[in-house]
Structure 1
Amino acid sequence: MSAPESLKEVYTDELKDLWSANDQMTKAIKTLSEKIHDKKLKELFEGSHAGIEGHTATIRSLLEAAGGEVEKEHCKGMEGLVKEALKHGLKEAPEDGDLLDIVLIAQYQRMSHYGVTGFGTAAAYATALGLKDDAKQLKGIVADIYKADEYTSKQSERLARLAARHAAATTD
């Protein structure tokens, strides 16, 4: 791929990268969700597939509308995050269920935060290009991700309290 020569090309490159990032994150979440112990957290992970797939459909339609090639471009940033998530969530995973769930939340949030920055950046580009509808859709995706992030943060706090109580009980 050659260097972009316009903001529109930068915008479409960002969308292609986000498409790849979403696909990679979906696969990682599916793998990690099999390890989750907490029912509410498992529902969130499993439900996030549909949300991410919806975001990907939006990306594809925005690429079509922008006249860009409707294909993804491998996202090396998400590749690294996925590698770390699988390492911490599978290979080096704690045995305690509450601790494992906390680790899985952290990995989920890292991948999600990457999405927030990408979609937020794409929304800024769309705004600068006068693509108001694109910007609105992309900002909606950012809002969806923030909502999931808030929920996972609350779950992490709840599970951390449980893990702390469990640790205190075993040391008494």
Structure 2
Amino acid sequence: MTNPEPSLTLPMTDLHDLYLEQLRDVYSAETQLVQALPTMADAATAQVLKDGFHAHLQETLGQVERLERIFADLGEQPGGHTCQAMQGLIAEGQEMIREKAVPAVRDAGLIAAAQRVEHYEIAAYGTVRTYADLLGHPEHAMLLRTSEDEESAADQRLTALAGRINVQAMQG
């Protein structure tokens, strides 16, 4: 079986190389999310959900800045990689926006799409934080932990919103 898309990057020979690749993946994911969150906020009908998406946009911008600090510390550039997983997760959220759904059902679907994004980000930050610890970058690990904690808190806020909005969606 052949790989349909040849790799354009250098081969990975150690954990440091993998760390850089995974950091670029998270950076790509976050920069894609910066573009997607305003659309999600516009599509939401519950004001509390709109506000939540806007607040998470501000957190995401801070997460991008933290990643840029890590890349600067490493003497590396953040670009050159596209997170395919985030592209797919965002596409699923866009599908929900295009659905002909009553407002509460659309909002419930947007919450579901957003929680999938949060779970992906929690996993990604946990992985790169572990790599940073192993590679002796405690300052990176601290920055990555901050972002991981923010993603977990965002997921918890979405769960709380879902409790109310899902009930409204059930009623149609």
TM-score with structure 1 setting the length? 0.90
Cα separation, 1, equivalents of 2:166 and 2:81:
37
Residue 170 (structure 1) aligns with: none
In the TM superposition, what are the counterparts of 1:10-159 in structure 2 within 5 Å? 10-88=18-96, 90-94=97-101, 96-159=102-165
* Conserved 8 A contact 1:38-1:101: yes
- SS of the equivalent of 1:130 reads coil
Q: Any stretches of 5+ residues in structure 2 without a counterpart?
A: 1-8
Deviation at 1:93, TM superposition (A): 4.4
Cα separation, 1, equivalents of 2:85 and 2:169:
31
Give the percent of matched residue pairs that are identical in Structure 1 and Structure 2: 24
TM-score with structure 2 setting the length? 0.90
* Conserved 8 A contact 1:19-1:72: no
Which segments of structure 1 move beyond 6 Å, counting only runs of 4 or more?
A: none
Partner amino acid for 1:134? H
| Cα RMSD, aligned residues only | 1.3
Cα separation, 2, equivalents of 1:3 and 1:36:
43
Q: Any stretches of 5+ residues in structure 1 without a counterpart?
A: 168-172
Deviations 1:53-80 (A, max 9, x none): 1000111110111222342511111111
Deviations 1:118-139 (A, max 9, x none): 1110000000001111111111
